[in-house]
Amino acid sequence: MYCKQSQNISNLFVFMLIFFSLNGCINQEPPEPSKKEVLIYCGITMAKPVRKIADRIEQQENCIVKIIKNGSGNLYRGIKINQKGDLYLPGSEPYMETCLQEKLVTETVHVGFNRAVLLVAKGNPLNIPGNLNSFLNHDYRTALGVPDSGSIGKETKKILAQAGIYDQAIIQARYLTTDSKGLTNAITDNKADLIINWRATAMWSNNRKLMDIFLLDEAIAPPHKLTLGLLSFSSQPEIARRFMELASSPEGLKIFADYGFGECK
């Protein structure tokens, strides 16, 4: 069961991860002196398309692109503390709005959409109804994201609170986890029967055959714009802007859409 102590440990871990990444101490060969480095803070769910775009930028710009993956909330706190890095891509808009207000981010581009959905095991073997009240049924094992570490947890709280069942659903949950990866594993490892997660996670080839999607009404779970932001203290703003240009171009938008971040109609 999630608790304050485990969250503090999680936060400490991500800060240590960022620190050692910035200092090149995580089992990495020293970069070539002639190559510039770009550091991207990326919510876990979007890491695949970001890496694909990063590979192209590395070739075009003869640079090295490092990606730190974690829950969007943990990344935000790391950015605020470390004041280093070039780009930030959280899983939902509120984190970027906060960064703009605090002048941590100076420029943004739109790269896709994120939308929360209900997920069950492939074929829905328990015939779970695709509605929020299923989170109150003791016959189903449920897992939920916590709101202070990742974007899906924040979105989950908003959705369930709007339905008036957040506190009950938290009590009923089999366990809580910090990010979308933990929620995905809950289904793929048969630790839970029902979760709320980002739609894109269920559209990847390795997950598509393991889970089914229940779309929620847009009034309950609206699509969120994915916004990539240039950090105000970027040491490589020119390369970072070229990354932003590619990510928001028709080519870049297609890459994001291929990983489930296009418009959900």
pLDDT tens for 79-132 read 999 999 999 999 989 999 999 999 999 999 999 999 999 999 999 999 999 999
Instruction: Tell me which residue of 222, 233, 254 sits closest to 41, measured CA to CA.
Output: 233
Residue length of the chain: 265
- pLDDT at residue 144 tops 80: yes
- pLDDT at residue 11 tops 60: no
Share of the chain above pLDDT 90, in %: 79
User: Side chain identity at 19, as an amino acid letter?
Assistant: F
Give the pairing type, strands 116-121 and 194-198. Answer: antiparallel
- Check residue 9 and give its pLDDT: 47
Domain 4-113+225-261: CATH class, spelled out: alpha beta
Give me the torsion for CA of 252, 203, 218, 215, rounded to 10°.
Answer: 170
- Check residue 54 and give its pLDDT: 98
- pLDDT at residue 258 tops 50: yes
Question: pLDDT, tens digit, for every residue of 214-254?
Answer: 999 999 999 999 999 999 999 999 999 999 999 999 999 99
More confident residue, 29 or 253: 253
- pLDDT at residue 133 tops 80: yes
More confident residue, 27 or 175: 175
Question: pLDDT, tens digit, for every residue of 170-198?
Answer: 999 998 998 999 999 999 999 999 999 99
- Check residue 205 and give its pLDDT: 87
Is the distance from CB of 114 to CB of 226 less than 8 angstroms? Answer: yes
Q: CA 159, 146, 263 angle in degrees (round to 5)?
A: 50
Cβ burial of 35 (10 Å; 0-12, 13-18, 19+) is exposed
Q: What does the pLDDT average to over 138-148?
A: 94
- pLDDT at residue 14 tops 70: no
**pLDDT confidence bin for 3, thresholds 50/70/90:** very low
Q: CA 14, 17, 21 angle in degrees (round to 5)?
A: 140
- pLDDT at residue 19 tops 70: no
E strands, 115-255, are: 116-121, 142-145, 175-177, 194-198, 211-214, 224-231
Is the distance from CB of 137 to CB of 165 less than 8 angstroms? Answer: no
- pLDDT at residue 4 tops 50: no
**How far is CA 128 from each of CA 136, 159, 197, 199, rounded to the nearest angstrom?**
12, 19, 16, 18
Q: Which residues of the chain does CATH 3.40.190.10 include?
A: 4-113+225-261, 116-214
- Check residue 20 and give its pLDDT: 54
Q: What is the mean pLDDT of the chain?
A: 90
What is the C-alpha to C-alpha distance for residues 257 and 263, in angstroms, rounded to an integer?
8
pTM confidence score: 0.81
What is the C-alpha to C-alpha distance for residues 102 and 204, in angstroms, rounded to an integer?
34
- Check residue 6 and give its pLDDT: 47
What is the C-alpha to C-alpha distance for residues 135 and 72, in angstroms, rounded to an integer?
24
What is the C-alpha to C-alpha distance for residues 241 and 60, in angstroms, rounded to an integer?
13
What is the C-alpha to C-alpha distance for residues 76 and 99, in angstroms, rounded to an integer?
8
Candidates 3.40.50.1000, 2.40.50.140, 3.20.20.80, 3.40.190.10; CATH matching 116-214: 3.40.190.10
